[in-house]
């Protein structure tokens, strides 16, 4: 109770004028000490003269402090700049005293204005020390009464370099910080056993369960600039195993005005643990690509389509048309754009399978760029519904691409998937056929056809991350189909950056793929998500192995057999060099598949798909029977 009262008094009465008064009071006190020291700790000076000099000292102190504005700073946030200003103001005061003394001696103004030079020098040094100590004392006092020591989180900082020291200063200088740094960790053997501000620097091998329990450590802040995702994954995993919270300091380029604040130190997110470096694309050519253009996005309400739309909203397009059958999601996106005051966009409820309706939309809006993201993507569902997979993934692509040629679209950019490579399921095979159909349009009309192919997207609708989150909220267990299953991952913004870049980079006929680093084990991902939720595996949440789903494979690939890559001007983006295919024959087979789709049984439909994609070999599926014939 008393702490709250003191804090209230601090906030209410610790005004700048009170601070100015206290600074002057300290200055007067140190002037008295200067006299005492000058006369060997004895009162052998004229006390009456000293008392008459005090108003002069106080007046000149007020002038110097007003000039430098030292009283304006919030004392409980005192930092290096405040100390610097204090030193300068004290030097200004000393200078003024020397000027007054010089004038007094020259014009014989009396003893009152004639101050000994040695007193002035001693006063200068004492004033610097006492004013600085005063401010840091107030800061420490405020922190002492405003923080509950029982609720302080004890922290280790991983990294004893410049970034680590800056992190330490950001924590200690924040009066409202609820963290207490108890030490540093560093890989450098030369730093082992050294101290920073009287805090020990430990070797990583020293950080054991016994050490953590003994020192009541609650969390670790990783403060290493340019740390690789693989290293971050390794460190986070080791600390999670001790039930520690793990936080991370952002890169210097993200610090506000070049300074790190405690609010920027965030919990490690699953995106930080991808196990690869995030791909950033900065291309000024994108402005010219989308400026004053009419742009279509099919599947505009989906995870990828909506993010493409958001990124496009940064450009001054002529018109943005978002097409989808999911009216609720489309409505939500519409409201989001209205809140952001984005102009010249249209949302249209339409189905890519309805060629006549699409033709009307193309005719009305006359697009110049089409991003085709409409597709069915769930492997188990499409394995049981091959007719729908063919109808949307292939038929929808046929309709949109044909209409793009008919209506003179400049560029058609298709969103594909790594599951189209050596497919083992219906969904992946239909996406591969969509890729092939796009290839069939080469040299037809003026439209440039471009394909982007990437792996799993973190946080997309129906993806593993939202599934794991729901399972954790329900108390578990988390379901993993196979302990060794691995996937490539990227964030939604990354995926959409690739799509936008492809539109600007592509000249037609390319399949763009990422250098996505190493794939992530889903089992490890599940453990990390449990730990990120503040729970422990397997004590709080367990993991259940359910077995591979129909059509699912353990490893995904970005390149098919016979494909290689060639570089682009971006070192993380390559173009797949595909093997030669008789596209005329493939186009005939695709049209036959679409025409006969609803007239055939599931087995016959999948058989036709396998004729078009001979590398399609079913896995853990009822359609394996077709591979044995």
What's the Rg (C-alpha) of the chain? Answer: 35
d(Cα 241, Cα 248) in Å, to the nearest integer?
17
Q: Tell me the pairing of strands 345-349 and 478-480.
A: unpaired
Instruction: State the DSSP string of 76-89.
Output: GG--HHHHHHHHHH
| Edge-to-edge strands, sheet with 153-158 | 195-196, 199-202, 179-185, 153-158, 219-222, 245-248, 266-267
* Axis-axis angle for helices 327-339, 303-312 (nearest 10): 20
Structure tokens at 629: 């014939």
Listed residue (364, 329, 376) closest to 349, CA to CA = 329
Would residue 419 show up in a list of annotated catalytic residues for this protein?
Answer: yes
Active-site residue, selected from the candidate residues 191, 419, 431, 608: 419
Structure tokens at 284: 């000024």
d(Cα 573, Cα 256) in Å, to the nearest integer?
31
Structure tokens at 360: 């009307």
d(Cα 484, Cα 155) in Å, to the nearest integer?
35
Beta bridge partners of 195: 200
d(Cα 433, Cα 605) in Å, to the nearest integer?
13
d(Cα 378, Cα 371) in Å, to the nearest integer?
20
Structure tokens at 526: 């599940």
State the Cα torsion 519-520-523-529 to the nearest 10°: -160
List, in sequence order, the alpha helices (H) in 39-75. 47-68
Listed residue (572, 586, 575) closest to 517, CA to CA = 572
Listed residue (391, 389, 364) closest to 376, CA to CA = 389
Name residues whose C-beta falls within 8 Å of residue 518's C-beta, 6 or more positions apart in sequence. Answer: 230, 275, 276
The residues annotated as belonging to the active site are: 419
């Amino acid at each position: 109770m008393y702490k709250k009262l003191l804090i209230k008094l601090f906030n209410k009465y610790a005004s700048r004028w009170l601070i100015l008064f206290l600074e002057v009071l300290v200055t007067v006190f140190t002037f008295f000490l200067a006299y005492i020291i000058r006369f060997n700790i004895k009162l052998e000076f004229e006390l009456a003269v000293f008392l008459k000099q005090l108003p002069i000292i106080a007046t000149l102190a007020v002038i110097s402090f007003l000039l430098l504005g030292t009283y304006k700073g919030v004392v409980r946030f005192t930092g290096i700049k405040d100390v610097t200003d204090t030193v300068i103001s004290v030097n200004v005061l000393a200078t003024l005293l020397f000027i007054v003394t010089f004038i007094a001696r020259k014009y014989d103004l009396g003893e009152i204005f004639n101050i000994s030079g040695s007193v002035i020098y001693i006063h200068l040094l004492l004033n610097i020390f006492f004013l600085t100590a005063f401010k840091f004392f107030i800061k420490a006092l405020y922190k002492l009464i405003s923080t509950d020591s029982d609720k302080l989180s004890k922290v280790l900082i991983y990294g004893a370099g410049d970034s680590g020291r800056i992190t330490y200063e950001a924590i200690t200088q924040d009066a409202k910080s609820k963290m207490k740094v108890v030490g540093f960790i560093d890989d450098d053997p030369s730093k082992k056993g050294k101290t920073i501000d009287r805090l020990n620097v430990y070797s990583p091998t020293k950080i054991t369960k016994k050490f953590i329990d003994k020192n009541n450590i609650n969390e670790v802040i990783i403060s290493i600039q340019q740390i690789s995702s693989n290293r971050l994954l390794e460190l986070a995993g080791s600390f999670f195993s001790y039930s520690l919270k793990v936080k991370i300091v952002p890169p210097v380029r993200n610090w506000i005005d070049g300074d790190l604040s405690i609010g920027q130190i965030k919990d490690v997110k699953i995106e930080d643990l991808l196990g690869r470096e995030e791909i950033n694309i900065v291309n000024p050519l994108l402005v010219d690509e989308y400026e004053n253009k009419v742009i279509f996005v099919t599947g505009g309400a989906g995870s990828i389509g909506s993010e493409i739309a958001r990124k496009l909203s940064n450009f001054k397009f002529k018109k943005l048309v978002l097409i989808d059958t999911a009216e609720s999601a489309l409505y939500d996106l519409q409201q989001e754009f209205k809140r952001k005051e984005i102009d010249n966009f249209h949302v249209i409820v339409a189905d890519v399978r309805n060629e006549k309706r699409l033709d009307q939309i193309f005719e009305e809006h006359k697009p110049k760029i089409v991003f085709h993201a409409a597709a069915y993507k769930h492997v188990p569902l499409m394995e049981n519904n091959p007719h729908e997979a063919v109808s949307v993934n292939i038929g929808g692509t046929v309709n949109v691409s044909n209409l793009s040629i008919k209506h003179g679209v400049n560029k058609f950019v298709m969103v594909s998937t790594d599951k189209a490579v050596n497919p083992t399921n219906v969904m992946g095979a239909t996406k591969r056929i969509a890729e092939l159909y796009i290839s069939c349009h080469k040299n037809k009309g003026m439209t440039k056809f471009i394909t982007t192919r990437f792996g799993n997207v973190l946080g997309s609708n129906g993806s593993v991350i939202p599934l794991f989150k729901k399972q954790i909220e329900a108390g578990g267990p988390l379901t993993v189909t196979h302990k060794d299953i691995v996937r490539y991952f990227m964030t939604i913004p990354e995926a959409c950056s690739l799509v936008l870049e492809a539109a600007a980079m592509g000249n037609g006929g390319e399949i763009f793929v990422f250098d996505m680093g190493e794939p992530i084990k889903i089992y490890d991902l599940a453990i990390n998500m449990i730990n990120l939720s503040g729970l422990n595996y397997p004590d709080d949440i367990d993991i259940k192995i359910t077995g591979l789903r129909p059509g699912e494979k353990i490893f995904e690939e970005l390149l098919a057999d016979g494909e290689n890559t060639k570089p682009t001007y971006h070192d993380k983006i390559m173009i797949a060099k595909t093997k030669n295919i008789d596209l005329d024959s493939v186009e005939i087979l695709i049209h036959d598949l679409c025409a006969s789709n609803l007239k055939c049984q599931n087995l016959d439909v999948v058989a036709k798909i396998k004729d078009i994609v001979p590398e399609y070999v079913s896995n853990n599926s009822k359609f394996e029977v077709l591979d044995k014939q």
